[in-house]
């Protein structure tokens, strides 16, 4: 299998990332490399293509973007690691359900590195610590290729989640990696956490990593 090309993008505006993901997906050929983009977004609520506006309780000054991923409404902001996986599913011999499982498993393994016990749920995509959600997942598949991905709460401000029904679930508890790690010496910078996530995801996909510059 070809390598997984990994890019760290830093803080990156949501709609620009979405445009570039679609552009890459639409221009792919059989030999196009798969990529993993690691980044943070400025504050934004995103509503999936079948998302219900009723789950936006009080967005206030935070912009709302209706996008083409699956799922309901979620929040992105600084301190949250976003991982966008641009993958040729046919070449990887993966279905959408299995890809979601692999994204969740990569986060679960990452959290285990930090001594945090986490799990997925059959009835609600994402990753949970106890009953609290720590990572959300939403994908789009077009021309047999995926984009969008998974978002892990590292140390973001959780207050905006109170303005929505997270992922369509009223009262869903939200947690962060920084709430779960007791060792103050751990490096919880979003980039450091992203490097670990890339390692786990590449391993689960049976790929080696190649690092690329930002877009």
149 marked as binding residue: yes
Whether the CB-CB separation of 97 and 163 falls below 8 Å is answered with: no
Reduce the DSSP state of residue 77 to 3 states and report it.
Answer: coil
Burial of residue 186, with CB atoms counted within 10 A of its CB: 0-12 exposed, 13-18 middle, 19 or more buried:
middle
Q: What is the pLDDT of residue 186?
A: 80
Taking the whole predicted model, whether its pTM rises above 0.95 is answered as yes
Tokens of 200: 């786990």
Q: What is the pLDDT of residue 52?
A: 96
Q: What is the pLDDT of residue 215?
A: 84
116 marked as binding residue: no
Number of domains in the chain: 1
Q: Closest Cα to residue 71, out of 140, 174, 128, 127?
A: 140
Reduce the DSSP state of residue 164 to 3 states and report it.
Answer: strand
Distance CA 72, CA 90 (A): 26
Q: From the candidates 67, 145, 167, 178, give the one annotated as an active-site residue.
A: 167
Residues 105-123: pLDDT tens digits?
Answer: 999 999 999 999 999 998 8
Q: What is the pLDDT of residue 43?
A: 98
Do the strands 209-212 and 44-47 form a parallel or antiparallel pair, or are they unpaired?
unpaired
Q: What is the pLDDT of residue 66?
A: 97
What is the strand order of the sheet 127-129 is part of? 119-120, 127-129, 132-142, 145-153, 80-88, 34-40, 4-11, 209-212
Distance CA 203, CA 209 (A): 9
Q: What is the pLDDT of residue 18?
A: 98
76 marked as binding residue: yes
- The span from the first CA to the last CA of the chain, in angstroms, equals 24
Residue spans of the chain under pLDDT 70:
184-185
CATH of residue 110's domain is: 3.30.930.10
Whether the CB-CB separation of 153 and 173 falls below 8 Å is answered with: no
Q: What is the pLDDT of residue 75?
A: 98
Containing H/E element for 92? Answer: helix 89-92
Reduce the DSSP state of residue 141 to 3 states and report it.
Answer: strand
Q: What is the pLDDT of residue 182?
A: 82
Q: What is the pLDDT of residue 89?
A: 97
Q: What is the pLDDT of residue 171?
A: 94
Structural domain boundaries, residue 45:
4-212
138 marked as binding residue: yes
Which residues are CB-neighbours of 117 under 8 A, at least 6 positions away? 111, 129
* Catalytic-residue membership of 145: no
Q: Closest Cα to residue 157, out of 178, 130, 138, 180?
A: 178
């Amino acid at each position: 299998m070809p390598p997984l090309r990994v890019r760290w993008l830093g803080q990156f505006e949501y709609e620009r990332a979405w445009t570039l993901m679609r552009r890459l997906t639409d221009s792919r050929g059989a030999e196009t490399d798969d990529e993993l983009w690691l980044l943070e977004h400025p504050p934004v609520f995103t509503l999936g293509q079948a998302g219900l506006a009723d789950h936006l309780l009080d967005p206030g000054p935070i912009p709302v973007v209706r996008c083409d991923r699956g799922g309901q409404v979620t929040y992105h902001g600084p301190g949250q690691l976003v991982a966008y996986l641009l993958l040729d599913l046919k070449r990887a011999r993966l279905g959408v359900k299995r890809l979601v499982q692999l994204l969740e498993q990569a986060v679960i393994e990452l959290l285990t590195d930090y001594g945090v016990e986490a799990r997925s749920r059959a009835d609600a995509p994402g990753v949970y610590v106890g009953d609290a959600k720590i990572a959300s997942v939403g994908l789009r598949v077009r021309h047999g290729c995926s984009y969008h991905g998974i978002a892990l709460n590292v140390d973001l401000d959780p207050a905006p989640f109170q303005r929505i029904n997270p992922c369509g679930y009223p009262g869903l508890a939200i947690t962060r990696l920084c709430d779960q790690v007791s060792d103050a010496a751990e490096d919880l910078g979003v980039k450091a956490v992203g490097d670990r996530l890339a390692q786990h995801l590449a391993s689960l996909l049976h790929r080696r990593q190649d690092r690329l510059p930002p877009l």
